[in-house]
């Protein structure tokens, strides 16, 4: 009888959870549609105007950033694009970008760390020049974590120094949890441990409000349209506005940098893969194992418009090894692009700790 009651309560909780998710989706959709209708009535020609960028800006071919390469994963059959620099025999430092970014967001770090590492910035599944599976189910969390393992091994390594920002940070946390033997040190920028985010958000309405875009992104087609209208104005705003964009004290994006983003995201279908990450986030099962055993550096921009700073300190609960947290004053969510000099300095400090363990080679024999 007790087991039956427990099962019934569990099903009711699950039903309540999905009812809440879909109710939030409906609310966000209504608000977005009202806004879209208002803009369309005010200036229909401008609203539904966007253009595909035909030519890549010169910065994407900058040889100081590294060499453009491709690797095909046998398990999934997907081909991944990455940019690599540094000698092949040196330890692997793998960079995982966030949304809506691509390998180029790590340009400052590729130049900085290639002297001592084999640095690799990958276009993640669905992004940039990597393959873009059609079905939303192809972007389940377990697939994204498995991609990292397969990429590391295909590059000829069995361990790496793993660096992730935003969605890349989310996957980096999970990879360190599930494959601790493959992570020498973990560096995460502006992304809490998944368990911290899952526990914190429902109990803090302010963070729930900041995460409301996740509900909007569950919908088909509408988010892609909203990002495209006004010639990708929403994308430009994310990186340049005073509220969400790169801070005034930061390095800023040049016009060419911004054009690099517009070049990739203006291609037909380029927005769907990145948005599919969010369309699977509520289906991710709770973590059975949550602890991170490797040393962790967590860097956090104080002006992050999407994630509350209180979550950064809570990550300590799930880290069993050395943990260093640095809050960077005046920095935005786009930390590695906003304050590259400070980020690189803090990364070097963390990497040099226990330097005797740093200079061993990682490639598989």
Annotated active-site positions, please? 166, 278, 333
Give the start-end residues of each E strand in 294-359: 296-301, 323-328
C-beta of residue 297 within 8 angstroms of C-beta of residue 326: yes
| Burial tier of 333 (Cβ tally within 10 Å: 0-12, 13-18, 19+) | buried
DSSP label at residue 47: H
Is residue 196 helix, strand or coil?
Answer: helix
- Taking each helix axis from N to C end, the angle separating 167-178 and 141-154, rounded to the nearest 10 degrees, works out to 70
Q: How do strand 160-165 and strand 118-122 relate by DSSP bridges? A: unpaired
> Under a CB-based contact definition with an 8 Å cutoff, are residues 40 and 47 in contact?
yes
Q: Please tell me the distance from the alpha carbon of residue 98 to that of residue 95, in angstroms, as a whole number.
A: 10
Q: Which residue reads 């801070």 in tokens?
A: 247
DSSP E strand stretches across the chain: 67-72, 79-85, 92-96, 118-122, 160-165, 183-189, 296-301, 323-328
337 to 40, 91, 207, 240, 253: CA distances (angstroms): 34, 23, 24, 12, 8
CA distance 280 to 116: 37
β-sheet bridge partners, residue 157: 363
DSSP annotation of 363 reads: B
DSSP state of 157: B
Give the span between the Cα atoms of 200 and 210, in whole angstroms: 12
Q: How far is CA 45 from CA 39, 41, 50, 303, in A?
A: 10, 10, 10, 35
């Amino acid at each position: 009888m007790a087991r039956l009651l427990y099962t019934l309560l569990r099903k009711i909780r699950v039903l309540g959870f999905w009812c809440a998710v879909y109710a939030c989706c409906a609310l966000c959709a209504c608000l977005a549609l009202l806004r879209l209708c208002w803009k369309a009535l005010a200036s229909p020609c401008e609203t539904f105007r966007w253009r595909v960028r035909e030519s890549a800006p010169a910065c994407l071919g900058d040889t100081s950033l590294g060499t453009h390469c491709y690797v095909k994963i046998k398990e999934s059959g997907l081909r991944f694009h990455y940019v690599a620099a540094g000698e092949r025999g040196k330890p692997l430092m793998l960079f995982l970008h966030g949304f809506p970014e691509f390998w180029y967001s790590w340009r400052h770090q590729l130049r900085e760390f290639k002297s001592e590492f084999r640095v690799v910035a990958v276009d993640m599944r669905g992004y940039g020049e990597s393959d873009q599976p059609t079905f939303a189910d192809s972007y389940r969390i377990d697939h994204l974590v498995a991609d990292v393992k397969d990429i590391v091994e295909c590059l000829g390594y069995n361990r790496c120094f793993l660096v992730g920002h935003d969605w890349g940070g989310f996957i980096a946390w999970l990879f360190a949890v599930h494959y601790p033997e493959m992570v020498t040190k973990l560096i995460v920028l502006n992304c809490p441990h998944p368990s911290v985010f899952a526990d914190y958000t429902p109990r803090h309405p302010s963070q729930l409000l900041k995460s409301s875009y996740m509900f909007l992104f569950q919908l088909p087609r509408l988010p892609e349209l909203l990002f495209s209208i006004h010639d990708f104005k929403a994308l430009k705003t994310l990186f340049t506005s005073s509220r969400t964009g790169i801070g005034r004290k930061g390095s800023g994006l040049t016009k060419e940098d911004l054009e690099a983003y517009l070049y990739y995201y203006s291609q037909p279908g380029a927005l769907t893969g990145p948005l599919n990450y969010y369309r699977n986030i509520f289906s991710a099962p709770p973590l059975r194992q949550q602890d991170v055993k490797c040393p962790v550096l967590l860097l956090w921009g104080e002006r992050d418009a999407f994630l509350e700073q209180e979550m950064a300190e809570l990550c300590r609960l799930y880290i069993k090894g050395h943990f260093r947290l640095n809050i960077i004053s005046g920095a935005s969510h786009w930390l590695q692009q906003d304050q590259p000099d400070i980020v690189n300095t803090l990364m070097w400090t963390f990497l040099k700790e226990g330097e005797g363990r740093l200079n061993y080679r990682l490639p598989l024999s």
